């Protein structure tokens, strides 16, 4: 290794070129800060190359395969089932490279210095960057750590490589598994299960917890859909051992005090996530960590070292790109002198399942605990005209409001269009919208958007496309 003789000075160094890191770099450059971005692998980080983009490509493919059955009703020829996923892998490679080049062009256009290499803190204001035989030292005024997190197999379970997968590995499969067992307790497990079921695999879900983590109505609908699709669901499960025998995996599981075996061809495990900071040398400079090993930050995204900040997965849950992106913009703006802040109160909870799910704000149970009197209503997508056209009739939109002030407290949706509508849900809750704020605007017809209007109108029994529930005297509804 050749050690550079000169210590180069930089204003802002950002470590990690994922969604949080490159967003922070671009926003800082837009605001006049000289930025150096260090990435040891590929631009876009795990999100672009191994997680967010690949997983949603597989989910999109599964959704389109399900839609093929509906297209047969419209006269399209029947398309035989397929098991070869090689074309998807090839397309994944194509779009990830295109997006990588896009980020590189954005950095170049914003005059951001991009350095390839492994960064290590040498002191509280110095970083060493190793790239092959080259080693450079940089002295910085400020630094942002945005290196993300990595999945880890649970203790005692050895990865077979060929039949057992974590989240960054499952979307490299080039063939549809015969019987995929999904073990976990997060939205990623649900996405994997519904995606590979749509692609033709038999699915068994082993859920660690006693129930799903969403609003009670969403949980119930997911279980109904699993039953309809013949996806086996087993809850309160603990995975003990995995044995590979011939072309099968034999899992030993416990449910309470009972121990049993289950057999499948492949296994997906959500695992746990660890901060990707092992090589950074943070202990050397005395940085403080949370109990789980993630970097401790305050509300201003400052670490225990005044001139070093951290954003995204390295700071702990929730492990979501949307959080990292927002934090990246905010910290760049703060470094430029703006009074920006991060508020995750209405962070949308999204699952690209089939059908998709979106949840913002309070669940019904949480609302009941926090408010004296609430109203709830669900509008079934089966009553929406556009869903009849597309054949996407599973699901509903659920509204929860404060009955005394008419303020929307929570919006939950499962069904086609949930991810796209989630931004509207967030905006409504951010502006403390009242029921009237949803009912007053005009909604395109036919569209899935109309479901939101009908869900809110149904809070007081005024949904047009819902059969009314009259009171005992059959009296008409009184408008206030």
Place of tokens 């770099």: 25
CA atoms within 13 A on the CB side of 275: 24
CA distances from 308 to 72, 125, 212, 294, 357 (A): 57, 9, 37, 15, 36
Structure tokens at 475: 């009296």
- Distance of alpha carbon 99 from alpha carbon 424, whole angstroms: 26
Compute the distance between CA of residue 454 and CA of residue 480 in angstroms, rounded to an integer: 18
What tokens were used for 109?
């256009």
Q: In the structure encoding, which two tokens stand for residue 130, read together?
A: 């190793």
412 is catalytic: no
Tokens of 141: 């005024």
Residue 154: Cβ within 10 Å count? 14
Between CA 83 and CA 173 the distance in angstroms is 11
Please spell the DSSP secondary structure of 147-206, one letter per residue.
--EEEEPPTT----SSSEE-TTTGGG-SB--SEEEEEESSHHHHHHHHHHHHTT-EEEEE
3-class SS letters over 311-379:
CHHHHCCCCCHHHHHHHHHHHHHHHCCCCCCCCCCCCCEEECCCCCEEEEECCHHHHHHHCCCEEEEEE
Q: Which of 70, 179, 352, 445 is catalytic?
A: 445
Distance CA 433, CA 425 (A): 10
Beta strands across the sheet bearing 179-184: 164-165, 266-269, 179-184, 202-207, 232-234
SS3 476: coil
What amino acid positions are annotated as catalytic residues? 445
């Amino acid at each position: 290794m050749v050690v550079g003789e000169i210590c180069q000075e930089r204003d802002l160094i950002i470590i990690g070129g994922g969604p949080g890191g490159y967003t922070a770099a671009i926003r800082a450059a837009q605001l006049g800060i000289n930025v150096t971005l260090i990435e040891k692998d590929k631009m876009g980080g795990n999100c672009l190359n191994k997680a967010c983009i690949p997983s949603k490509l597989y989910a999109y493919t599964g959704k389109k395969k399900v839609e093929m059955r509906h297209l047969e009703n419209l006269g399209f020829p029947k398309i035989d089932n397929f098991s070869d996923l090689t074309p998807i892998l090839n397309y994944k490679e194509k779009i990830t490279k295109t997006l990588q080049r896009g980020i590189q062009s954005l950095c170049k256009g914003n005059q951001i210095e991009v350095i390839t290499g492994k960064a290590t803190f040498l002191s509280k204001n110095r970083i060493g960057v190793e790239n092959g035989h080259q080693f450079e030292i940089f002295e910085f005024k400020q630094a942002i750590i945005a290196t993300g997190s990595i999945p880890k197999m649970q203790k005692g379970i050895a990865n077979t490589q060929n039949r057992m997968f974590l989240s960054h590995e499952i979307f490299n499969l080039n063939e549809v598994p015969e019987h995929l067992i999904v073990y976990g307790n997060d939205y990623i497990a649900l996405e994997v299960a519904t995606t590979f079921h749509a692609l033709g695999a038999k699915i068994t879900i082993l859920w660690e917890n006693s129930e799903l983590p969403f609003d009670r109505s969403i949980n119930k609908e997911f279980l109904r859909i699993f039953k309809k699709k013949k996806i086996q669901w087993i809850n309160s499960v603990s995975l003990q051992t995995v044995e590979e025998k011939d072309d099968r995996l034999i899992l030993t599981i416990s449910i309470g005090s009972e121990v049993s075996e289950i057999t499948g061809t492949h296994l997906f495990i959500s695992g746990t996530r660890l901060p990707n900071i092992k090589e950074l040398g943070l202990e050397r400079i005395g940085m403080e960590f949370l109990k789980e090993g993630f970097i401790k930050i305050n509300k201003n995204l400052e670490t225990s070292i005044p001139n070093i900040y951290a954003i995204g997965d390295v700071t702990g849950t929730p492990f979501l790109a949307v959080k990292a992106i927002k934090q990246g913009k905010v910290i760049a703006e703060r470094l430029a002198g703006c009074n920006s802040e991060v508020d995750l109160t209405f962070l949308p909870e999204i699952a690209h399942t089939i059908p998709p799910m979106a949840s913002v704000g309070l669940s019904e149970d949480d609302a009941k605990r926090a408010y004296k009197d609430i109203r709830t209503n669900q509008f079934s997508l089966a009553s929406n005209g556009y869903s009849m056209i597309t054949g996407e009739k599973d699901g509903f939109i659920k509204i929860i409001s404060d009955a005394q002030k008419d303020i929307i407290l929570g919006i939950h949706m499962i069904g086609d269009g949930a991810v796209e509508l989630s931004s509207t849900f967030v905006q409504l809750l951010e502006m403390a919208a009242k029921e009237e704020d949803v009912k007053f605007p005009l909604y395109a017809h036919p569209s899935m958007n109309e479901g939101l209007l009908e869900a809110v109108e149904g809070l007081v029994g005024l949904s047009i496309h819902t059969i009314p529930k009259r009171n005992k005297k059959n009296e008409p509804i009184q408008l206030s």
